[in-house]
Structure 1
Amino acid sequence: MSPAGAVLTAARPPYFRVLGLLQVEGDEPVPITARRQQVVLVLLLLNSNRVVSLESLFEAIWGSAPPATARAQVQICVSALRRALLRCGLGERIQVRGGGYAIEVDQGELDLHRYEDLVVRGRSELAAKRPAAARAAFREALALWRGEPLDGIDSGVVRAHQVRISERRVEVLEDCVQAELQLGLHNEVVGEISAMVTEHPLRERLVGQLMTALYRCGRRAEALAVYRVVRQRFVDELGLEPGPSVNQLHQDILTGSLTGHGDAERPEPAMPWSSAGVPVPRMLPARVPYFTGHAELLAALQRRLVGDHGPHTELVTVLTGRGGVGKSTVANEIANTLAAEFPDGQLYARMAVGEEQAGNVSNILKQFLCALGFSASEVPAAMEDRAARYRSAIAGRRVLTVIDDVVDEAQVRPLIPGTPTCRLVMTTRARTAALLGTAVFELDVLGTGDGVELLAAMIGRQRVRAEPREAGELVGLCGGLPLALEGAAARLVARPHRTIGDLVALLRDERHRLDQLNGQGVDVRATLLRGYRTAPPVARALFARLGMLEPGGFGAWVAARLMELDAASATDALESLVDARLVDVESGTGGSTRYRLHELARIFARERLFAEFPSQDDADAGRRTFGTWPRREDEARSATGHGG
């Protein structure tokens, strides 16, 4: 056993237990019976070592209508909990941090943490094809459960956590059964699987595991009967047929082509689905806790991703938009929402910036094949061979793949699935048309209402309600860009003593606005710079000169005048900036097309402008250009026949 494993299996029980009735025990048991204290402690434990805002505690205790005395009541609850933990020898655990509270919990002190660590170890052993070690870890994890998690605590927020934790327990049970079937323990587990299918009759992985176990126990007729009952339930309740993996398993049992039917044959049967010893990858990043809005877009994405599975299904969904608009967040949100619709796995990768494209995709294919159960030695060397094996590995299964930050569609062509049961979601800044087999969704910046809602989710509704006008102005100064709002929110959270108005006053100074929006992993300038570097030299030079303009739309003739180019060359340069997501098309077509710079792109262009004039003489030339701009604009309009 590894040293980490030794820590996980330490003899003393956890001090804090949530996998059943809430229990706290140090030198002696700590009775936590008051409802508000239970809710506060549970929310702190579920977010161990992280700050839980007062607004989150208010919502968990009172819902959307906290009383005027909510803050004082929470302080009383926290004080009582502190005294109780001190009395039983657990020390000063609850700390005031920023605008909320945090409880300090070390490794192994919370049963949920110990459970999750064991599950990670079990899945790692399963992926490494060590089913005995995987089974031991899974069974040790499941033994920590003492009933329904957080049973009896009356809170809508806590109930949402209960559902999430319970759902993950079923997945772990499925993983454990998978390891046990690989070990040939079908006789030992068939009763447990049968009870699980009774409780969860629509979980296809469980159904397949029960059919497999029954068949391998020599109970072929019962295995077929399970399929008939489950199929009828699917048709009656959902109006759907079971998935292809269960149907294929049914056919294998009917024809007798399923191997491993006796006690002597221990290897798991070769089947194109996860209960047959194939790992189920769960590679999606964690959801963003402050996700808001996009309801219509999410509904449209859901229809695309779980709709028709026919031969002409759109297998690729593209989310496109400017840098920082939230493409990755939306992709991850919809993928996590629909994870249950893709029970054979969810794969995720981010394209490395600047890496050679073919090598990048080849490395991702290797990563995916290993996650799907292939050893490194089984992964082909050539990218074409890797792509072929990848398509074969997911053929007939229900797998969702998410590829983030793609340069263009050609880059991910080797990752496109070959069967309609799988889906690929990709995010890209590139402007792309809807091609055959592809659905394209464009994300735009947020309006004031949605921007304020996002800000409230990040910094707390109470602060936004206290300064609604300033919150709206902050959204405008960020140009409605979610990434910029995230940077602003990070500053406000880090400085709870500062008001929204204080930050707004700083952001009004355009010279330092991009600096004020940086920090905590957010860099708006770097996002703009990435697009700038992809543009051709003449387009970059034009972009810098567009920093001379005041906010508002402009025509291609403006670009021609700024760069002393003919109309066609100026339009080409502008369209390159449109492709780089530095310039937006405002309205019109052909020669009447109007363009506009996003608020933050305009500020960045002005930075590039002065970077283009480093010497004093050049700076003077730049100032002269600014000073004569109104006259030059009038001349250009007259020369080109544009009167307005």
Structure 2
Amino acid sequence: MEFRVLGPIEVVGDGGVTGLGGRKPRRLLAALLVNHGRVVATAALAEAVWGPGAPGRTRALLHTYVSTLRTALAAAGAPAVIHTRAPGYLIQVDGTLDRDEFVRLGTAGRAATAAGRWHEAAQLLRQALEQWRGPALEGVESGWLAGEAARLEELRLATLEDRITAELALHAWDAVTAELTDLVLRYPFRERFRGQLMTALAGLGRHPEALEVYRSGRDVLVEQLGLEPGPWLRAVQQAVLRGTAPVPDADGVSAAATATAGVPGPAGPPQPLPPAPDDFTGREPEIRALTGELSTASHQRAVRVVTGPAGVGKSAFAARVAQLISPGYPDGQLYARLDGTTGTPARPHAVLDRLLRQLGVPATALPQGLAEATARYRSLTARRRMVVLLDDAYDEQQVRPLLPANPASAVIVTARRRLTGIAGARLVELGPLDGDESRRMLAAVIWAERVAAQPAAARLIARYCDGLPVALRAVAARLSRRPRWPLHLFAGRLADERGRLDELHTADDDLRTRLAPSYRQLGASARVLFHSLGLLRVAEFTPATVAGALRLPPRHAEQLVEQLVDLQLAEVVRYEPTGQIRYWLPPLLRLYARERAEAETPPGAAGVLVALLTAYWLRLLDPAGGRPGADAGHRASRVDPGRWLAAEYPAMRMVMHTAVLVGRAGDARRLATAVARFVDDRAGRAGPTLLFAAAQAPVVLAPPRDAVAG
């Protein structure tokens, strides 16, 4: 039986091509086949089948598609090749897979090339390419399957280059010239195709045409990429100018041309770090601390995970630190973006391919499997002291294969999640910029004089931006395009909370876009919680508040809140004497939560939540209801009523304000009255915290200063 992924997904048995159903079962089969022999988790399969927006019933639907495939394969003579294995499924190929044949023949062809057996190499590489019937995974590339299809296409092109190398070595110039002319037009940035065409033309005595191929290629590279041709292509040009016809070797480097043209070898250690923004501002204490820790190599691998909420500037901070410490690491820097917040995180093997290329490994010599690529990477980094910057990581499993082998190297990882499962890693938590730093960032873009002339408006803008660099940069970019606008005019636009998020964007960046990946990763129940906090306009809250609003067991409520914290959608404020943790939803997150709730919940949801939470609190405030800690998941005998009220009062105050806004002023009055009665009944035994709550109770119907009003 034949399984085919190098083209449309097909299974061929004795009776011909097997029917596999619709596109989704085919995507499922493709995801299993490219990982055959290994268990593929349900989450990864769901992403391959539906992309990032998988439906809620993925497990049941996947089971249905697996049953469909099992039936189709059994009918073709291959029963029970798909097995259920926690945490997903596994396929065992009973027959041949065209991808594996392609890799096997290609490896054998490259071995023949290395030994100088050109006829054998050309034949094997031709057979490898014959496995292809069209674009890899044609018609099913979605989610991470698109990345796998791109990787296979790169391998196909590298194998095609190898085959042409072997044919050039056999002086088959006529046979490959037309093919190479087409390839150069289709892939203008692949220097190896261009150099091979120059070699073939020179071999046919068509030297002027070969030089024209070089000139046009240089024009394309300079005009579109701002790059000069690489050393090998320049060496081929020099050989053509001398009237010789160099034959590229297996690595695409012409030994003859390099020797005669004096082309230097590798241009020193790799230095691919991205630049930090020119207007990078603040973070001086964090930079001093981190550069002090990483400036000198140690015998224990230094891994620092820079984490923080969306838009806080993790990537810019990490790039700044990496640049500052790089002089202490003489073997260069490595950089890779891991796409952890894009919905399709980069696969470790694909990232290793990029890192190995930075280390000088040619495309034709890249290892085929993750284990082999990891071993090669560790071998190349074992004796090098380098700075490795891994930006936007998804989880620990993605990062581990990318850690260099030398413990004297420094590794900086940025991630939305707190990746505490990496051995030896320490977290560097970035919070919002303070007021002074925020104003300095504004001044760096829109001129210090303009900010200094309007300090009150600058303070308001900084506060409305929550100290987030992405928001401040958006405001500064828009103000810099409007030099005649007074700052107070833009501060007034930001004061309108309904339009504030609309103002915090530029052509290539947007706060909503930054927040969306974390929101999409929330489970269904945690998303309901996020909606509820937005509708209730709650800023500070405890798990008891959540339990009352959503009618949940206290432990479950706390777990949902921690999901928000893990994804940087809520913050921990402090530990309360009642035994609970107080959490905080910053203003811009509250606006985003309310936006998502209003788009995804039915009308009137806010009123329902107000009624549920009010009823919950009224029951606890009722003298006949017993001690207030009992329903909050604590040991009732240890919960002081005054401390309990002080812990819950910030949320009560905001909910009473929301009740008025959504037309449930009666609930607000009943709750205010119950709070006052609760205080009066216990006034004789009141401590300072209870007296503070009593002082607040009479003014609960006035809009609080920090309210997120509609």
* 8 A contact 2:276–2:317 mirrored in 1: no
Q: Which secondary structure state, in structure 1, belongs to the residue aligned with residue 433 of structure 2?
A: coil
Check if 1:572 corresponds to 2:559: yes
- Residue 215 of structure 2 is matched in structure 1 by 3
The equivalences for 1:21-32 within 5 A come to none
Cα distance change on mapping 1:446 and 1:469 into 2, 3 Å: same
The equivalences for 1:120-269 within 5 A come to 120-121=227-228, 125-126=230-231
Return the TM-score normalized by structure 2: 0.52
Once the 2 structures are TM-superposed, how far is the Cα of residue 441 of structure 1 from its aligned partner?
0.7
Name the CA distance, whole Å, in 2 between partners of 1:428 and 1:346.
19
- Residue 591 of structure 1 is matched in structure 2 by 579
1:103-133 alpha-carbon deviations (Å, 9 max, x no partner)? xxxx99xxxxxxx96xx42xx624x586687
Q: Which secondary structure state, in structure 2, belongs to the residue aligned with residue 309 of structure 1?
A: coil
Cα distance change on mapping 1:393 and 1:355 into 2, 3 Å: farther
Q: Which secondary structure state, in structure 2, belongs to the residue aligned with residue 348 of structure 1?
A: strand
Cα distance change on mapping 1:464 and 1:278 into 2, 3 Å: closer
Once the 2 structures are TM-superposed, how far is the Cα of residue 307 of structure 1 from its aligned partner?
1.9
The equivalences for 1:349-360 within 5 A come to 349-352=336-339, 353-354=341-342, 360=347
Q: Which amino acid aligns with 1:613?
A: T
Q: Which amino acid aligns with 1:3?
A: R
**Which of 342, 352, 358 is matched with 2:329 structurally?**
342
Name the CA distance, whole Å, in 1 between partners of 2:441 and 2:460.
14
Check if 1:603 corresponds to 2:591: yes
Name the CA distance, whole Å, in 2 between partners of 1:330 and 1:467.
28
- Residue 407 of structure 2 is matched in structure 1 by 420
- Residue 439 of structure 2 is matched in structure 1 by 452
* 8 A contact 1:320–1:441 mirrored in 2: yes
Once the 2 structures are TM-superposed, how far is the Cα of residue 398 of structure 1 from its aligned partner?
2.3
Check if 1:397 corresponds to 2:384: yes
Cα distance change on mapping 1:629 and 1:469 into 2, 3 Å: farther
Name the CA distance, whole Å, in 2 between partners of 1:355 and 1:627.
37
Cα distance change on mapping 1:394 and 1:627 into 2, 3 Å: same
Once the 2 structures are TM-superposed, how far is the Cα of residue 283 of structure 1 from its aligned partner?
1.4
Once the 2 structures are TM-superposed, how far is the Cα of residue 634 of structure 1 from its aligned partner?
4.8
* Bigger mean CA offset, 550-559 vs 573-582: 550-559
1:430-474 alpha-carbon deviations (Å, 9 max, x no partner)? 123386422221100111111111111122111101111111111
Q: Which amino acid aligns with 1:302?
A: T
Aligned residues: 400
Q: Which secondary structure state, in structure 1, belongs to the residue aligned with residue 591 of structure 2?
A: helix
- Residue 643 of structure 1 is matched in structure 2 by 645
* 8 A contact 1:557–1:636 mirrored in 2: no
Q: Which amino acid aligns with 1:592?
A: Q
- Residue 300 of structure 1 is matched in structure 2 by 289
- Residue 622 of structure 1 is matched in structure 2 by 606
- Residue 287 of structure 1 is matched in structure 2 by 276
Name the CA distance, whole Å, in 1 between partners of 2:443 and 2:263.
54
Once the 2 structures are TM-superposed, how far is the Cα of residue 421 of structure 1 from its aligned partner?
3.0
- Residue 258 of structure 1 is matched in structure 2 by none
Check if 1:548 corresponds to 2:532: no
* 8 A contact 2:348–2:398 mirrored in 1: yes
Once the 2 structures are TM-superposed, how far is the Cα of residue 373 of structure 1 from its aligned partner?
1.4
- Residue 601 of structure 2 is matched in structure 1 by 613
Q: Which secondary structure state, in structure 1, belongs to the residue aligned with residue 399 of structure 2?
A: helix
Structure 1 or 2, whichever has the larger Rg, is 2
Q: Which secondary structure state, in structure 1, belongs to the residue aligned with residue 411 of structure 2?
A: strand
Name the CA distance, whole Å, in 2 between partners of 1:349 and 1:492.
33
Once the 2 structures are TM-superposed, how far is the Cα of residue 410 of structure 1 from its aligned partner?
2.4
Listed as ranges, the gaps of 5+ residues in structure 1 are 10-106, 109-115, 137-178, 189-265, 269-275
- Residue 273 of structure 1 is matched in structure 2 by none
Once the 2 structures are TM-superposed, how far is the Cα of residue 342 of structure 1 from its aligned partner?
2.8
Cα distance change on mapping 1:538 and 1:416 into 2, 3 Å: same
Cα distance change on mapping 1:497 and 1:129 into 2, 3 Å: same
Q: Which secondary structure state, in structure 2, belongs to the residue aligned with residue 307 of structure 1?
A: coil
Once the 2 structures are TM-superposed, how far is the Cα of residue 626 of structure 1 from its aligned partner?
4.5
Once the 2 structures are TM-superposed, how far is the Cα of residue 608 of structure 1 from its aligned partner?
2.1
The equivalences for 1:42-57 within 5 A come to none
* 8 A contact 1:445–1:479 mirrored in 2: yes
- Residue 461 of structure 1 is matched in structure 2 by 448
1:597-623 alpha-carbon deviations (Å, 9 max, x no partner)? 011111111112222334xxxx23434
Listed as ranges, the gaps of 5+ residues in structure 2 are 1-210, 241-253, 623-627, 630-640, 647-710
* 8 A contact 1:315–1:416 mirrored in 2: no
Q: Which amino acid aligns with 1:448?
A: G
Name the CA distance, whole Å, in 1 between partners of 2:216 and 2:386.
32
* 8 A contact 1:301–1:334 mirrored in 2: yes
Name the CA distance, whole Å, in 2 between partners of 1:588 and 1:380.
50
The equivalences for 1:50-129 within 5 A come to 120-121=227-228, 125-126=230-231
* 8 A contact 1:327–1:427 mirrored in 2: yes
- Residue 220 of structure 1 is matched in structure 2 by none
Name the CA distance, whole Å, in 2 between partners of 1:4 and 1:460.
44
Check if 1:381 corresponds to 2:593: no
Check if 1:309 corresponds to 2:298: yes
Q: Which amino acid aligns with 1:471?
A: A
Cα distance change on mapping 1:462 and 1:634 into 2, 3 Å: farther
Once the 2 structures are TM-superposed, how far is the Cα of residue 420 of structure 1 from its aligned partner?
2.3
Once the 2 structures are TM-superposed, how far is the Cα of residue 331 of structure 1 from its aligned partner?
0.6
- Residue 508 of structure 2 is matched in structure 1 by 521
* 8 A contact 2:418–2:427 mirrored in 1: no
* 8 A contact 2:343–2:517 mirrored in 1: no
1:192-249 alpha-carbon deviations (Å, 9 max, x no partner)? xxxxxxxxxxxxxxxxxxxxxxxxxxxxxxxxxxxxxxxxxxxxxxxxxxxxxxxxxx
Name the CA distance, whole Å, in 2 between partners of 1:375 and 1:279.
16
Q: Which amino acid aligns with 2:560?
A: A
Name the CA distance, whole Å, in 2 between partners of 1:134 and 1:307.
44
Check if 1:429 corresponds to 2:534: no
Name the CA distance, whole Å, in 2 between partners of 1:456 and 1:280.
37
Cα distance change on mapping 1:546 and 1:303 into 2, 3 Å: same
Once the 2 structures are TM-superposed, how far is the Cα of residue 339 of structure 1 from its aligned partner?
2.9
Name the CA distance, whole Å, in 2 between partners of 1:441 and 1:278.
34
* 8 A contact 1:309–1:421 mirrored in 2: yes
1:578-635 alpha-carbon deviations (Å, 9 max, x no partner)? 1111111110068321011011111111112222334xxxx23434644786675454
1:52-106 alpha-carbon deviations (Å, 9 max, x no partner)? xxxxxxxxxxxxxxxxxxxxxxxxxxxxxxxxxxxxxxxxxxxxxxxxxxxxxxx
Name the CA distance, whole Å, in 2 between partners of 1:298 and 1:570.
37
- Residue 260 of structure 1 is matched in structure 2 by none
Name the CA distance, whole Å, in 2 between partners of 1:408 and 1:637.
44
1:307-361 alpha-carbon deviations (Å, 9 max, x no partner)? 2432xx233111011111110000111112233333322221111245665x622
- Residue 487 of structure 2 is matched in structure 1 by 500
* 8 A contact 1:577–1:583 mirrored in 2: yes
Flag the structure with more relative contact order, 1 or 2, with Cα contacts below 8 A and sequence separation at least 6.
1
State the Cα RMSD in Å. Answer: 3.4
Cα distance change on mapping 1:354 and 1:293 into 2, 3 Å: closer
Q: Which amino acid aligns with 2:566?
A: D
